[in-house]
Amino acid sequence: MSRGVVRSPLTFLGGLIVLYLAVPLVAFAVRFLSTSDRGFHVPGLFPALWVSVSCATISLALITVLGVPLAYLLARSKSRWASIVGLIVQIPLALPPLMSGIVLIYIIGPYTLLGRLFGQSLTESKIGIVIAMTFVASPFLIVAARAAFTSVDQGLLDVASTLGHSDLSRFVRVAVPVAGPGIRAGMLLAWLRAFGEYGAVVVLAYNPTSLPIYTYNQFSGVGLRTTLAPTALAIAVAVAVVLISRVRFTRRRASGPHLPLPQSPTKVIAAPVHFDIDYRLGTFHLALAHASNVNHVAVLGPSGSGKSALLRSLAGVYGATPGEFWCGETSLRHVPAEKRRVGYVAQGFSLFPHLTVWQQLLFARMATPELASYWLTHLGLEGLVARYPSELSGGQRQRVALAQVLCSSPQVLLLDEPFSALDVPVRQELRRELRRLQRETGLATLLVTHDPEEAAFLSDEVVVISEGRVLQSGSSRQVFTRPASLEVARLLGISNLHHATVVTSGLLNANGALIATNPSDLRAGTIVAWSVRPERISIVATSEVADALDEPRGASLNGTLIDIADVGTAVDLFVAVTAGLELQVRTSEPIEYRVGDRCQLTFSPDAIAFWPVTPDGPLASSANVSTP
């Protein structure tokens, strides 16, 4: 322990509670070791211990079999009924144990309907002890397991559903293993609570005698002397159970399975996707529709625009409610997620933490060892088959996620920000890898991203969205060269984007600067958006200051250099032309300018893209648009 931790007030406060808990145990140990008459000879001691141990174990088995599924349902549901059930589950925690026994006796007592039905055998027997223990101990497991299930990444369950697994299969093969530590902690608490239960047991089943009842009888009849043995046994059992619960079985490290001969996947005939989604997620309204004529589509939008919700809707994790989804001519709206054959790569590399790479690839229902071997080899994963996700780099995890989905033989591939968490070199490498896979597999792909470069590189069509609505859609070239509004242009990362007013054919007034353009049929007074790429602007020093409104100067503008940014492979210069017009220039040539220098910007009219806009920004489809 470091010196800083020792001096921390937290250490002092924690030490006080440890001292409070340890002193009585130490005092008991001193008394136990200093006397020879501890009570081990008293009849009934070990039978009572066996009753407590066996009944607590049976109770734990019942609680686990019934309580873990309930905890899973409570963790996944946000309904009013789930809240009511959660309250009912916790009531035994608030009841004093004696009152718990009284509550139970009204149900299973000798003269109740159930009591008579079972021949009055539900009390004064081991059955009564188990019932009492189960009632008071159940909340400990259910509450702990519910918290553990709540922390399970929903993305893991969604991916499992798209890989062909039903709800029961996802519960058994994903949720329970991932939530395992929390479930084991709840099982430990439940067993210890059941083992030490006295109040409810003494009301329901005084005989046979459990260890707490035996100890109380010795204390009230003989005194402290004969309670040393049962107390020592209880402490020993508790310590043993806690130590056993902390045993962690080390995952056997193997060299990996013998890979079978690879089998190439059947090439899919790509079918363009169409969707019409209208769905509310709380206060967020997702209303997106697009009919594609190509195989590779990118949905581009900022964070919170509904990109991930769209993919989850198309993957089927919300059921049929969100709306229509077609793959070619086939409607998938009413097809369950596990049967859609839609490959879904969730954001953040949703790999199952308890499975090796080889097990990840075989997790899909339709996966075969031969197909898994093919994708292992094809994606360069051969040496990673025995590794777990925590032992992989970001790029390796992304490759495994792609291979896992491809092993399910999907008809369409949905990719949710697949490279956003990767370093730039790895991101560029995997982009090229995915582009190659698009060509080789023939799969239709729908990619969502906030990166314009990624969208352009991996798609033939782009859909730009914001706040759950489509702002613009069309071919990648059309969208990037003709953004429908300033908002779309900003999302596309277009530089030097400004408003202007048409003065005459071939002349724009941009915040007081006159810009010469190619002639167009736009009428004077038309409001347009215009842009020029930074790399198509030349910059030269000048000592002349001209008012751009006095006389049009063709494609040249005077301005003042206000900032210089060296970005490594190029230099960005920012020039203020007028009070409301600033242009960015990018050059790879050496520069000798300083901030504050006067300069002149020159560019060809062919370099200017401009298009008419309405006051709200949508593209006027009937206008003549000039593009570079």
DSSP class of 172: I
Predicted confidence at residue 552, as pLDDT, reads 42
Ranges of residues in the chain with a pLDDT under 50 are 544-554, 616-628
Query: Which class does domain 501-612 fall in?
Result: mainly beta
Predicted confidence at residue 254, as pLDDT, reads 53
Q: Is 140 helix (H, G, I), strand (E, B) or coil?
A: helix
Contact 97, 129 (CB under 8 A): no
* Beta partners for residue 470, in sequence order: 465
Which residues lie closer than 8 Å to 21 by C-beta, 6 or more apart?
A: none
The CA-atom distances, in angstroms, between 181 and each of 168, 245, 327 are 20, 10, 41
Q: Is 152 helix (H, G, I), strand (E, B) or coil?
A: coil
pTM here is 0.80
Predicted confidence at residue 115, as pLDDT, reads 83
DSSP class of 88: H
Predicted confidence at residue 494, as pLDDT, reads 85
Predicted confidence at residue 359, as pLDDT, reads 93
Predicted confidence at residue 621, as pLDDT, reads 36
Fold of 17-245: MetI-like fold (1.10.3720)
Query: Which class does domain 273-478 fall in?
Result: alpha beta
- The count of residues in the chain is 628
Q: Kindly calculate the radius of gyration of the chain based on its CA atoms and give it in whole angstroms.
A: 36
Q: Which of 614, 617, 599, 613 lies closest to 544, judged by CA?
A: 599
The CA-atom distances, in angstroms, between 246 and each of 65, 156, 368 are 21, 26, 36
Q: Where are the domains of the chain?
A: 17-245, 273-478, 501-612
What digits encode the pLDDT tens for the residues 128-175?
999 999 999 999 999 999 999 999 998 899 999 999 999 999 999 999
The CA-atom distances, in angstroms, between 524 and each of 482, 503, 548 are 21, 5, 18
Contact 529, 489 (CB under 8 A): yes
Predicted confidence at residue 321, as pLDDT, reads 87
